[in-house]
Structure 1
Amino acid sequence: MNPTLKIRYIAKKTAIFTSAAALGMLALVGCAPTTPSAKVEPTQPEEQPATKAQSPTLKNLEMAYNGESNAHVMYLDYAKKADEEGYKGVASLFRAAARAEEIHKENHAKVIKEMGGTPQNTIATPEVKSTQENLQHAIKGESYERDTMYPDFIKEAKAKGEKNAVQTFTYAGNAEAGHAKLYTEALNNLDAWKAPKQFYVCSVSGQTAMNANETNCTVDGVKKPVEEVR
């Protein structure tokens, strides 16, 4: 074969093989199975657990805790004013009542914690006037707690079977009744209350009296400590 023709023959054959190989590769690519794309579902936000509504009794406890905290501060300021004006007996009464309110707020705080709450208060600056006016204001506040606030709180707690709340509300309500009575006695005869007096406060209930036995400081048949306040 002519050398030139031989070279052309080889080149043509090589081109044919190359084209065939290329077509084969394309066929393989076209026939290769494809992986279907994953379907992306929209992300749904996780449902948050519903916030448990605060019980009415817990709200009442928090309100009472704040009220007793403020009364404690107010009565101490009233006692200072009574001392300044020469009403030593009234000053002692206010100090005894202040200690009772402190006991009440401590009792309330304990039950608040038991119910999962946190005791908090906002102390307002007391408005201190004359001893006579301070007694009138104190009587008004104690009478409201005795006749309305604590009876309502006790009723609500009893309906829910919240025994510890019933107990602390009852302690406070009974003590406030005693305070209102003593304040009224002092207001009706202020001159007689210039002389020093001493009072007794039950360390459990805050019950206040001029005689230790009248504090009724007994729990489940066991006598509890009684504090003397002058």
Structure 2
Amino acid sequence: MKKLFILLTGVAIAAVTTAQAIVSPQTLDNLNSAFQGESNAAHRYEAFAKKADTEGYAYVARLFRAASKAESIHRETHKKAILELGGKIKDFKLDEVKAGTTAENLQAAIKGESYERDTMYPEFIALAKKDGAKAAIRTLLYAQKAEVEHARLYKDALDNLGRNVDLPIYVCKVCGYTVTKLTGNNCVSCREPVSNYERVD
């Protein structure tokens, strides 16, 4: 019995080692880059929200706060994936934020979200799929889907700046997906119950 236990333990350890071995160092580097990027985005959007508040754009301020919350969720899911895949979190410092006008901040946010949506995350996801790293694929897809909505919401906010648009904003606490209207019983991104959405004020 003891020999069988040792044998099974050895097989389990080998399986874990093999699973981790197929994850390329580049995928772990990509996850760390995404972790740092989302951390900086959350920090930056908080500053942008404060600027929008001072300029009297209450809805835009809430939108930035909601996006900051979403990016914080992505940061944590990226971190979890890194550790689950046997990697380590790299040390880094948050970027200094220099907020412009709300219009300028929205333009900067659109540019950043569009890059992540169209270039960064698709490249990271493609490699993660090649590696078969399910934990990486899941968190990267969560982030990319949310960035699609963030870019759209920012563009709409910029197009309607000064028109007193006021919509509710909700963020999924599981995947960070961000919406202005709750529909159906499940999150359209992670498929978890819609009860996981939190309204951001």
Coarse TM-score class (shorter-chain normalised)? 0.7 to 0.9
Cα shift readout 1:178-201 (whole Å, capped 9, x = no counterpart): 000000001111012x45442000
> Matched residues in 2 for 1:149 and 1:126: separation?
21
Task: Quote the offset at 1:116 in angstroms.
Answer: 2.1
In the TM superposition, structure 1's runs of 4+ consecutive aligned residues that sit over 6 Å from their partners are: none
CA distance in 2: counterparts of 1:89 and 1:197, whole angstroms: 7
1:50-61 equivalences in 2 (<5 Å): 55-61=25-31
* Alignment check: 8 A CA contact 1:92 1:196 kept: no
CA distance in 1, matches of 2:154, 2:173: 20
Distance 1:206 1:220, change over 3 A: closer
Matches within 5 A, 1:1-230: 55-120=25-90, 121-192=92-163, 194=164, 196-213=166-183, 217=187, 222-223=192-193, 225-230=196-201
Letter in 1 for 2:37: G
Give TM-score, length-normalised by structure 1.
Answer: 0.72
Aligned residue type for 2:112: G
Q: Counterpart of 1:98 in structure 2: which amino acid? A: S
Could you tell me the TM-score, scaled by structure 2's length? 0.82
Worse-matched range after superposition: 150-159 or 211-220: 211-220
What is the CA–CA distance in structure 1 between the aligned matches of 2:88 and 2:131, rounded to whole Å?
Answer: 20
Judging changes above 3 Å, is the alpha-carbon distance between structure 1 residues 220 and 73 closer, same or farther for their aligned structure 2 residues?
A: closer
Asked if the contact 1:75–1:98 (Cα under 8 Å) also holds between the matched residues in 2, the reply is yes
Give 1:69 shift. Answer: 0.2
Higher relative contact order (CA 8 A, sep 6+): 2
Aligned length, in residue pairs? 178
Query: What letter corresponds to residue 154 of structure 1 in structure 2?
Result: I
Distance 1:145 1:108 in 2: 14
Change (3 A) 1:150 1:214: farther
Q: 1:69 to 1:220 in 2, by over 3 A?
A: closer
Instruction: Give the gaps of 5 or more residues in structure 2.
Output: 1-20
CA contact (8 A) 1:146 1:177 kept: yes
> Residue 133 and residue 145 in structure 1: after superposition, are their counterparts in 2 closer, same or farther (change >3 A)?
same
Task: Summarize the Cα distance change of 1:112–1:79 in structure 2 as closer, same or farther, 3 Å threshold.
Answer: same
Question: Over aligned residue pairs, what C-alpha RMSD do you find?
Answer: 2.1
Opposite residue 168 of structure 2, the aligned amino acid is Q
Identity rate of aligned residues, in percent? 48
